[in-house]
Amino acid sequence: MTDRRGNEPPRKRGSAAGRENPPRKAQPRRPSATDSGRTTPQRPESTRDRLLRQARAEQQGPTPRPVKKAAAKRPAPSGAAPRKQAPAKKAPANKAPAKKAPVKSTAKRPVKKTASARKRPPQNRPQPRPKKRKVHKPPRMLRLGRPAVRLRMTFGVMAFVLSLFAGRLILLQGVDPDSYAQAATRENTQPSILHASRGSITDRNGVELAVSEDAVAITADPSQTKPVAQQLAAILAPKVAGTTYAKLVAAMTGKGRFTYLAHQVSPTTWTTIQAEMKAANATIAQQNKTKPLDQAAPLLLGLYTEDDPIRSHPNGSIAATVVGVTGADGKGLSGLEYGLNDKLSGHDGKAMYEVDTKGNKIPNANHTVEEPKPGVSVQLTLDTDLQYFAEKRIQQAVEQYKASSGTVVVMDVKSGELMAMANYPTFDPNKPYTSKDLNNPALETTYEPGSVQKVATMAALADAGLIDLNTKLRVPGSIEVQRRTIKDHWDHGPMNLTIAGVVAKSSNVGTIMAAQQMRIPQFVKYLHDFGFGEPTGLNFPGESQGRLMQGDEWPEITRSNVAFGQGLSANAVQMAAAVNTVANGGVYMPPKLVRNYIDANGTVTPNQAAAPHRVVSAKAAKEVATMMEAVTAKKGTAPQAAIDGYLVAGKTGTAQEVDPKTGRYGKWATSFAGFAPADNPRFVTYVVLHDPSDGVRGGGLQGGPVFRDVMSYALQKYVVPPTGAKQPEIPLTW
């Protein structure tokens, strides 16, 4: 069946398309079922787009009108008769041809720059946001909960809480159980200090100079003593020292559960306090029987004790300035108690007891005890008997010559051990004392030694070979050194003295003449070897090493002054050690005060002192000892120091001292040093009196008798027999 469309004639079979039949006219497309009959609405032009469009239009100029083009003639359909065209109208002859309309130029017109054109281009301005229209939401409606959700949430919260408890339990029981156990133990236990017993101090023979005795410290629990503080203070105040009634009441009514009321209370005193408290409680209990319970008076409770040993000095003032004292806390304050505190004090122990909520010890509960370690005892080189005698004898001399103080030092020649170190004034550690009493002048006080220094000067010159017993000097009454005049202590003209005569007469001028032969650096070295300007090695607290000019480039006046004992300072132990060097054959023995250390088990450890060293030769020491023997002879300066049956070597000393108030020379120090037996020395004794103001001033007159008495006692106590040697005839003049 042939589909014919319009007026199209039927095609002939077998004819070529497009040859005999005209082509088919294109038909307009039919709208499909999917095409929408509505046009897509365009987006409304915004203010920003409109402004941008207007700006571009102003820049490009006016838009030309579009020229209408002649419509193209449609081809006539095939088979249709062509339409006749109307004849064109001819223009009248008398009319001029029509002018063509001018074509408007499309070039951009220049835009006048106005005030608005110079402003910021409008396209860069942010456009205001369109206001959103508020949408009114419908009100929320209460929705009923669902039981299943609530149950799941409840079980979730419970599971989380239980997991926290489980984690904490694992932490306590598995991860770190010890720390929490220790914290609980600390909370429920109370520590108690177990004081270590302090080591004792004894002399060379074991005589006790300082020991620790049993005593207690009284403590209080303010939570228990507060209601009865006044009654307890009335009992304690008269019996314990170092406190008052008001202080006791304040301590027993304060805060906390523990406080100290008194230290180092003797057991006898504590027993008396307990007896009075017991009697007072019995009276209170009797009175409470007739009173209602709410009106009953409280009992006297809340006082406790702990071990607090007290330091005792059985021999009182003997060697008190050497031994020293301890404070209320049991630690050393002065002397050897301070210097050897670490060894003497030991190490305290500690006990831990379980207590209840009120702080009371729980019977049969667990407790730990760390035992205290007792301190080490110290054995000194001092002899108590000789120390006592020396203290009494120097006290007599100080009082006799009205001196400010005095010191006696006794030294064993061969060992360097200090047999006595006596000072006056002194004090009794068992009685009240002041801080001024605690110093030890034998080591802490320095002064210019005077003519005793000549022993070291002569020994140095003899060792250098510059003098011997045959040396003779023409000694004038004075000598000038660097425009300063130095004289002897007595007026005289030129004298012919031997070197022994210079020592025996204690001539300053003769000593300077002899010392000028030695070079100053060599002389300074000898002085250091004798121990001047150097510590003694005793490590005694507060010790002064004296003063010696630094270096060895001294002026001549300094060397001259030092040669006869001025211009340097030393303490009494240093002077004794220097003289002991000559007595010991020229070998310096470091002084020694501590002999042994003895621990709690009785083990003895000797104290190691510094090594001795030779200063001068034995020959030089012997020559100087012979010169010193002439001092105690009848023609010497100290015949008062001679001892019957013994050959004694000695040397006097008289030197000016600086007055600390004025800073100038205004006081004097008189001294005497010697050793016996001179031919086989056993002991060296040195005596010094500071600022004697009564009697004739002089080392032989004031210090000689003290030396004689103390040396005689030492020789007799240690049974040193006389050697039988006679005083040698040594020429003093020529």
Residues designated as active site:
451
Q: Report the side by side order of strands in the sheet with 310-312.
A: 310-312, 208-213, 201-202, 377-380, 594-598, 604-606
- Measured CA to CA, the distance from residue 410 to residue 387 in angstroms comes to 9
CA distance 19 to 23: 9
Distance CA 192, CA 348 (A): 10
- The DSSP line for 98-114 is PPPPPPPP-SPPPPP--
Q: Secondary structure of 260-293 in the HEC alphabet? A: EEEEEECHHHHHHHHHHHHHHHHHHHHHHCCCCH
232: which residues sit within 8 A by CB, 6+ positions away? 220, 225, 248, 252, 277, 300, 302, 303
CA distance 74 to 72: 6
Q: Residue 448 contacts by C-beta under 8 Å, 6 or more apart in sequence?
A: 565, 566, 567, 568, 569, 655, 656, 657, 669
Task: Please tell me the distance from the alpha carbon of residue 677 to that of residue 244, in angstroms, as a whole number.
Answer: 59
Q: Which two tokens stand for residue 284?
A: 């209170």
* H-run or E-run covering 420: strand 418-424
State how far the Cα of 375 lies from the Cα of 356, in Å rounded to an integer. Answer: 34
CA distance 450 to 595: 31
Q: Give the C-alpha separation, 599 to 375, whole Å.
A: 7
Residue with tokens 């070897």: 529
Angle at 681 between CA 470 and CA 321, to 5 degrees: 120
Structure letter (DSSP) for residue 481: E
- Count CA atoms within 13 Å of residue 158 on its CB side: 6
User: What is the Cβ-side half-sphere exposure of residue 733, based on CA atoms within 13 angstroms?
Assistant: 7
d(CA 710, CA 697): 20
Close Cβ partners of 386 (under 8 Å, ≥ 6 residues apart): 410, 419, 420, 710, 713, 714, 717
Give the separation between CA 134 and CA 208, rounded to whole angstroms: 107
User: CA nearest 119: which of 55, 29, 45, 176?
Assistant: 55
- What does each C-alpha distance from 39 to 29, 35, 36, 42, 43 come to in angstroms? 17, 10, 8, 9, 12
CB atoms within 10 A of CB 361: 13
